[in-house]
Structures are given as structure tokens and as C-alpha cells.
Amino acid sequence: MEGVKSIHAITPPLNAQYILIRPPSVEALEKRLRDRGTETNETIAKRIERAKKDIEFSESEAGRNLFHKVIINDDLNMAYKELESALRPALNSTLSRLFSSTRTPKPSGFKRFLGRQYPVSLDSKYKLNTTGVNSVGGINWLDPEPLISDKRKSQDRTESLPAVSYRVHAFYYAWYNAPSENQSVTDDRHWVHWNHVRLAHHNPRIASEYSTKPHRPPKDIGASFYPQVCLHIEPYFFRTARSIVSDLSYAHQRGYTTHPAYFRLPAPNHPTDPKKSLPVFFVYDSYTIRPEEWASALLTNGSTTIRGKPYDAYMVGLLMELTDCELFNSIGFNGGYTYFIAKNTNQPSDSMNWQLLGLKCRQSHVDFYPSVGPGYDDSAIRPYNTHRSVHRTDGNHYSNMFFDAIRARPAGFGITSFNEWGEGSQIEPAKPANRPLTWITTAYLDYQPFSADFYLRLTRVFVNAFEKWSELPPSFDAMNANEAKAVYEIMARVNTTV
């Protein structure tokens, strides 16, 4: 044990569980304690006696079976290998119990259920194939390198991040503050969503290698991706086609729509250049403006036309009737979306009509964007609207809407919503909680028996199916038994449907 700097007692013989840091000898330990100047003879004697017992135990046969030797700044991988060998049988057993059924085919995408970005395969019994573990190209799913690697290795990990689809969008509501016209953009209070602090590593040696300098939004934000966004124009007082033209001009003049983060698409029915990339705008309740007003703004010969102007845009209107695709083409809209989750809202919101609606939109050269969502419940803000509520049914409503969207052959699809909590349509994580006792129903709805991330994981499965991808992100490794089974069954349905 000479030269060992630390010993970790997994199951210590005494009363404490801790990491014992010691020099190569008891004499050196005593010198270090006396040099502190804070120890009494009594406390030094107790510490040395305890150290002798720990060292004696660690050098015994029993101790060697319980202690992992860890050489700081040298080789942490030995401890991970031993931990991996202990966990592998338990992992195989869990997988066998979860996926012993052979009634449904194994989806190819499920190979990424385990492991980060390493090759993984499941044998015929759905057990982990661990051939080549810790060898080059093997799974090594407990690889400690990301925990202690240098900056170059940390940067290399970003090369294997899952792909991003720009044909799938989510309606996001800006509950977070942003700077106003007369407020400084350097004021941290106004960038609370994008100014996450840089967290220091718990190991001071590693922490010293990385900066904790704060981010400076909007150019430098606390995220690995820069969001790509487009605006959803909601109703406001005296909104008209002419005022919306003014809105588009303002967004262009302010540099919003020319920013690289603003989402752009080529408009297939553009009167002059169908390949030209234009900034995208969704217009909620577009039906409240008369068709002839829209025509004046969106057709080339309109009196207030945006076509050919610097603020020209790809305009997506809200579909309210099955005949709206023909209407949209005649008045200059480039696309149509459905938004609503409750099928009894209107005909386009009923996913059973999407194949017909998709066909009509293609025939009219209007891009079709059906909107899918996990459920709907706005009873907390509209108590009279319970007849519009849509139960989530453990993800089945979400998956059924997605299957119907795929069959419609859309240009893309939207998710209603990422974080519209007031209408209960969010896919953002939620946790169990209770209301004040003044409420008739005290329990909030939640995603149990699944985790808070269940609907985010389902969304990834749907995006993969839509884009014909198979890779899943590392977060899928954290699923519990109930969630893994549910996600697996939905993935099997996806493979047989898409």
C-alpha cells in the first residue's frame, strides 16, 4: 500500500463511510497533523489510532475485497471497471425482465437505449451484448473520461450530439423576461432563461481548469445550442392585415428576421422565387381578418403587398375549415397549421381528417403543418371549458396524433406545446404536487407512473421516426422500468406504422 494517496471504503469496518487521504506512513501522518497547529495530543492520538485500524483492515484479505485503490491524477478507470462488472449482471437481469416478450418486433432505434455514443446491441433475449466492453469501439458506458478529460476531449463530445430536425417545431411561450427598449441588455435579471451560471466541478483540481465567467447574452448564452425561432403572431387590439405588414417591416428593420437564429423556409408557391428562403411567421386566428385584406398583403399585385419587399415572409395561417388550403393559396398564404389539440374544436383539429387535409394542401401548393400534443386541460384558467379537456392516457393521445400526422405526409409538424402550462398541453417536465386546500381538487395532474421527462423522450422518438433516424440521446439511459416498457412499446408501434 506504499504510496497510495487515497482509499475508498465501500463498506467500511467502522462507523463512517468516507475517503481516507493519507501519506505513505503513519509517522508522516502524525507530522502532518502536528504541523496543522489545530490538533491536540488527544485528537492526534485518536486520528492515528483510527488510521492504523483502517490501514490494517485495508491490507487484510477482507479489506482488499471491499476497498478500491484509486490513484489520484493517474488511473480512475480501474474503479469504474470493477463497478461495471458488478452492475452488468443486474443490468442484464433488468433488461430481460423488461423485454422478455417476443410479441412485438424489436425496433432498430432501440439499440441506443443503453450507452452514450458507443455501439450497443441486444441479443435475442434482449440482454446487453457486452462483448468488447472497455475495448476500442466497445460500449464502456461507465467510461470516466468525460468526468476528468481535458478541454479538447470535452469539446470532441459535442461532435456526437443527436441530430436536430428543423421540420419539427414547438410552440413556446416566453414566460421569461427579456430586455425592454429602455433597459440595459447587460442586466442579468432580463436574461434569466439564457444566463445559467457556469457550475464549478466538485473536484477543486478539475474546477481550476475551467472558467466560471458568467455568460453575456444575447450573443453568449448558457446553452450548447443557439435556439432557432420564428414568431407566432397572436391577436391584439385593432390587428389588421395592414398592421401585420407593419409588424413584418418592423421585425426586419430591427434585424430580428435577418439574424442567423431566425427560422427561414423556401415558399413553394412564391410568385417570383419559390426557392428563396424567407423568414417564417405563424398567424394565430388568421381567420379574424377578411380574405380580401390578406390578399392585398400577400399577393404580388396587392395594394400593401409584402412580396418582393425586404420584409417578405413565409406566412402560415390557422386552418379552421377543410377547404382552407384552397383559400390560403388564393389569398397568398404559404402554409397552414392546425394548432388545437381537442378534436372537437374544428374539423382540421381532428387528426382523422389530416390525410384529406394534407392532400388538399398539396394540391393547392400550400405546406401543411398539423399540430400534435400530449393532452389539453385549461380548467385552472377556464373552469367552464372542461368539455375541451383531453386526457393524456399515458402518452397514447400524443402518439396517436403523431401517427395521424405522419400518414398525412406533411411538410413538417408542430407540437402544442412546449410550455403552455395554462392549457395543460406542455411537454416540459412536470412533478407531482398539491394545490391549497381551498381548491375542490387538491392534486395537480402529473406524468406518473413515468418520469418528468417522459414527454420529452416521446418527442425524440417521434422526431426520429419522422426523419428516419435511429440514434437516441444519453438521457434515455435514465428511464425507470415503467417508462422503458412504455417507450419501447410506442417505438415498436412507430416502426410498424411509419
C-alpha of 459 from chain center: 9
Check pLDDT > 90 for residue 497.
Answer: no
Show the beta-strand stretches assigned E in 308-464: 314-318, 335-337, 367-369, 371-372, 413-415
Name the residue with higher pLDDT: 196 or 326.
Answer: 326
Determine which of 78-92, 105-119, 137-151 has the lowest per-residue pLDDT on average.
137-151
State the Cα–Cα distance between residues 58 and 125, nearest whole angstrom: 40
Check pLDDT > 50 for residue 245.
Answer: yes
Confidence of residue 191 (pLDDT cuts 50, 70, 90): low
What pLDDT, on a 0 to 100 scale, did the predictor assign at position 32?
Answer: 72
Check pLDDT > 80 for residue 458.
Answer: yes
State the Cα–Cα distance between residues 110 and 154, nearest whole angstrom: 26
Q: pTM for the whole thing?
A: 0.64
What pLDDT, on a 0 to 100 scale, did the predictor assign at position 395?
Answer: 93
pLDDT digits (tens, 9 = 90+) for 62-109: 666 554 443 333 344 444 455 455 555 555 555 455 444 444 344 443
CB atoms within 10 A of CB 469: 15
Domain ranges of the chain: 6-69, 77-160, 231-428
Name the residue with higher pLDDT: 143 or 351.
Answer: 351
What pLDDT, on a 0 to 100 scale, did the predictor assign at position 140?
Answer: 30
Radius of gyration of the chain (CA): 29
What pLDDT, on a 0 to 100 scale, did the predictor assign at position 297?
Answer: 98
State the Cα–Cα distance between residues 457 and 455, nearest whole angstrom: 5
Which residues, 6 or more positions from 287, have their beta carbon under 8 angstroms from its beta carbon? 317, 318, 320
413-415 vs 168-170, strand pairing mode: parallel
Check pLDDT > 60 for residue 402.
Answer: yes
CATH code of the domain made up of 231-428: 3.20.20.80
| Percent of the chain scoring above 90 in pLDDT | 38
Name the residue with higher pLDDT: 245 or 446.
Answer: 245
Check pLDDT > 60 for residue 490.
Answer: yes
287's enclosing H/E stretch is: none
Confidence of residue 203 (pLDDT cuts 50, 70, 90): confident
Helix axes 354-363, 324-331, angle to 10 degrees: 30
Check pLDDT > 90 for residue 319.
Answer: yes
Name the residue with higher pLDDT: 369 or 272.
Answer: 369
374 is written with which cell numbers? Answer: 400530449
pLDDT digits (tens, 9 = 90+) for 421-433: 889 999 998 888 8
Name the residue with higher pLDDT: 20 or 129.
Answer: 20
Mean pLDDT of the chain: 74
CB atoms within 10 A of CB 265: 21
Which residues, 6 or more positions from 334, have their beta carbon under 8 angstroms from its beta carbon? 265, 267, 268, 269, 270, 278, 314, 315, 316, 366, 367
DSSP result, 193-245: TT-PPPPPPSSHHHHTTS--PPP-TTTS-SSSS---B-EEE---TT--HHHHH
Confidence of residue 28 (pLDDT cuts 50, 70, 90): confident
Determine which of 149-163, 316-330, 392-406 has the lowest per-residue pLDDT on average.
149-163
What pLDDT, on a 0 to 100 scale, did the predictor assign at position 122?
Answer: 31
Whether a cis peptide bond, with omega within 30° of 0, leads into 218 is yes
Check pLDDT > 90 for residue 174.
Answer: no
Confidence of residue 145 (pLDDT cuts 50, 70, 90): very low
153, 145 contact by CB (below 8 A): yes
What pLDDT, on a 0 to 100 scale, did the predictor assign at position 6?
Answer: 36
